[in-house]
Structure 1
Amino acid sequence: MTSQNYLSETEFFDFQHPLVQQLSARTVTPEMSDKQKAIALYYAVRDGIRYNPYVFSAESKSLSASHCLEAGQSYCIPKAVLLGALCRFNGIPARLGLADVKNHLSSEALVKWLRSDVFVMHGYIELYIDGQWVKATPAFDAKLCERMGVEPLEFDGEQDSIFHEFNGEGHRHMEYLADHGQFDDVPFDFIVDSVMQAYPHLISADKREVTDQQSKDTVFEPNA
């Protein structure tokens, strides 16, 4: 079946935190099936946490499920971890997936900040439901997708849910370039080192800190 590690609490999948358990209690009930729980938790994370890529931090706490809830906004990796922590708390095995992707519809502001339209270390979660691993990507909330002119990603607990290849007008949206595999915990050093290599202007190699504090606090507003 699957490793017990995919059900364990960790520094990042910190499902014993009161905020994580409170969200679970508000979202699922004991009589729901694993698939029903996973679906409900997916939408709670997708739309309950606003997507904001500028809040990336080289502090390990920032990639935890509890921090994601405390902040109320985050990007793909912490949102995936939060969904994974909620599922683990409910007995559903979860593991983190990482990939490099190219966003053909990225906003000018985000491309300028990154100096690239390639996003390294894009995070998604894999959930073990009814005997199979299923991918879920709760990153982009519905309100953001509406502003971007793309349909929000749905999740049925059976089919992989990853970024749409095309937007509603037929233009290419997200393209997967490299798959780094799945992990039973957040590979923090691997993520930060990869970000440092891809975007050296953002992070101090000595202190591993995001250097552009003003950009960190900027709200992501995609082009119309």
Structure 2
Amino acid sequence: MAVSQEPTLVATEFLDHTSAAVRAFVAEVLPAADVFTGEGADPDGDRARRNAVALYYAVRDSIPYEVYGADLTRAGLSASGVLGHGFGFCVHKSALYAAAVRAVGVPSRVYYGDVRNHLASPRLRELVGGDIFRFHSLAVVRLDGRWTKATPVFNKMLCKLYGIKPLEFDGRADSMYHPYDEQNRRHMEFLHVHGEFDDVPYDLVYQGIKAAHPRLFAGSHTTTPGSLAAEAAGAAL
């Protein structure tokens, strides 16, 4: 059987779902799952949805969300690189999720937009230069013949520290963002959409983040050290 050339299923430089690291991650989450062979998407809609949901929660909660100390090299933004580093922020975690679902035959893309985040810590606001964050990322997956947005980004523990409801995903409705936190304060709103891509548009994303938020960087491709969890804990004291 011919290998599929569907661009939303193939392994790419960044969505490298044929790598040993991504395959091992998927196998740990879905021990009985068949990895993608290139012969077409999973025809079983219920099974595809269950797999996509299970991988969503694995990426959301087993990979800590951390803006500080993040690797924004080409290797660092690959799915295998994210697993090797062990943490990342939205651009990292969305790439990992998009790769992981491709590994089980679920088509995916990565999505980028500019957002206003009203609940950033004072230090992060200072480093970012305000409350507008450029190139916030999520993933888009095709389930039951339609494209659905999924944001496996803010892990449950960090959400608890910041008083934000963690984003859930059922494989049917978009999981994009919560506009309000648990105290009904405005949390996030999308201001501009950059688009959906079959692979991480590296130069666009890296140059866009660095140009918009130069103070966030400690080096050419690494963000400044710190801890979002520690900042949240400090604010609560």
Alignment correspondent of 1:152? 166
The Cα of 1:192 is off from its aligned counterpart by 1.7
Match of 1:103 among 117, 129, 148: 117
Alignment correspondent of 1:112? 126
Does residue 30 (structure 1) correspond to residue 33 (structure 2)? The answer is yes
Alignment correspondent of 1:209? 220
Amino acid at match of 2:171: G
| TM-score where L is the length of structure 2 | 0.86
| Cα separation, 2, equivalents of 1:145 and 1:152 | 6
The Cα of 1:203 is off from its aligned counterpart by 5.2
The Cα of 1:141 is off from its aligned counterpart by 0.3
Instruction: State the secondary structure of the residue aligned to 2:33.
Output: coil
Structure 1 residues 107 and 203, CA gap change in structure 2 (3 angstroms): closer
Alignment correspondent of 1:83? 97
- In the TM superposition, what are the counterparts of 1:136-147 in structure 2 within 5 Å? 136-147=150-161
Does residue 195 (structure 1) correspond to residue 209 (structure 2)? The answer is yes
The Cα of 1:219 is off from its aligned counterpart by 1.4
Contact 1:55 1:75 in 2 (8 A): no
Contact 2:138 2:151 in 1 (8 A): yes
Instruction: State the secondary structure of the residue aligned to 2:133.
Output: strand
Amino acid at match of 2:86: G
Alignment correspondent of 1:121? 135
Alignment correspondent of 2:16? 14
Question: Alpha carbon RMSD of aligned pairs, Å?
Answer: 1.9
Q: Relative to structure 2, which stretch is displaced further, 21-30 or 122-131?
A: 21-30
1:62-121 deviation per Cα after TM superposition (whole angstroms, max 9, x unaligned)? 111011111111000110111111111100000000000010011112112222211100
Does residue 163 (structure 1) correspond to residue 177 (structure 2)? The answer is yes
Q: Relative to structure 2, which stretch is displaced further, 14-23 or 119-128?
A: 14-23
Does residue 219 (structure 1) correspond to residue 221 (structure 2)? The answer is no
The Cα of 1:8 is off from its aligned counterpart by 0.7
The Cα of 1:41 is off from its aligned counterpart by 0.2
| Cα separation, 2, equivalents of 1:199 and 1:76 | 15
Contact 2:216 2:224 in 1 (8 A): no
The Cα of 1:125 is off from its aligned counterpart by 0.2
| TM-score where L is the length of structure 1 | 0.90
Alignment correspondent of 2:61? 47
| Cα separation, 2, equivalents of 1:21 and 1:192 | 26
Unaligned runs of at least 5 residues, structure 1: none
Alignment correspondent of 2:40? none
Instruction: State the secondary structure of the residue aligned to 2:214.
Output: coil
